[in-house]
Structure 1
Amino acid sequence: MTSSVPWQERLSAGTEAVQDEVIRWYQETPEGQAYVPTMIWGTLQTEAYATVILGQVVDFLGVPDDVPAGVAKRMQRQQVLYDGEHHYDVILGEQALYTNIGGPEVMREQMDRGPARLTARTRAATPGRKWRPSVLSASGAQLARPAA
């Protein structure tokens, strides 16, 4: 994934192709870190929440509307959370819990789904361990990979 290409260009064929990029990135990245200050991390989103978010992206950028396909791919990328081979440390900003995406029903479903219900694994920060920035997503999520 690259962050130097404008989002309108990256989404010129719709949202599905970008979600495919993200799936590939996750599959190739056994460990990662993310900080998402204002919304639920895409990989933790419910289908309804993701539908609203991707719909807003399509409307705002005026790109092709393939929201159902993009949402299906976004749901597919959640598989890395349960395969036992990947670990992601994710910090959500408190505002992510207060930002109203899609109204009360969508938010209720999202809060019932997680992040509150996920089991968190805690690791101590290891002195000297460096993380190199990989991409800054449209949501403001900073994703990182361990430095080689």
Structure 2
Amino acid sequence: MRSYEIYKVKNEYLSFIIGRERLLYDLLREETNHQQPAQEIQYLCDHIEELTIDQAIMDHLGKNFSSVESKEGSYRLTHPMKGSIYISVSPYSVQAYCDGSRMLDLDLFVALSGSHDRYFAVMEGVGEWGWLKPVKHANHLVSERSISF
């Protein structure tokens, strides 16, 4: 079973975090062991809106899964071929547990990234992390360099 913690980075800090994802990963990895979100998490990450997550799950995932159970901010979706996903929502993160094909992970990431492009996921226990949707660099983030020969 694969487990993920997914956070939504605040828009005003996105340009700072781009290129420093490893530092964000280290901070978030430490966070998974605590009950209350650290001040750094509250500072860098947006509060997760349960309604937005609910819409993303029901609109994008619900129609492709044979069984969808929803109860007070948690979801269990089952697909006959791919397996099942258990999702729970907390104030600053979405926890997802995927049991089955890696296509479950992709389905979840596509559904969430359709609502916002600032989601950052940490895969627990494996050392994998990344943006659910590739970040588009603004013009001020990309520095031009001239090379002379």
TM normalised by structure 2 equals 0.25
When Rg is computed on C-alpha atoms for both structures, the one with the higher figure is 2
* Higher strand content, 1 or 2: 2
Q: Which has the higher contact order (CA 8 A, sep 6+)?
A: 1
* Higher helix content, 1 or 2: 1
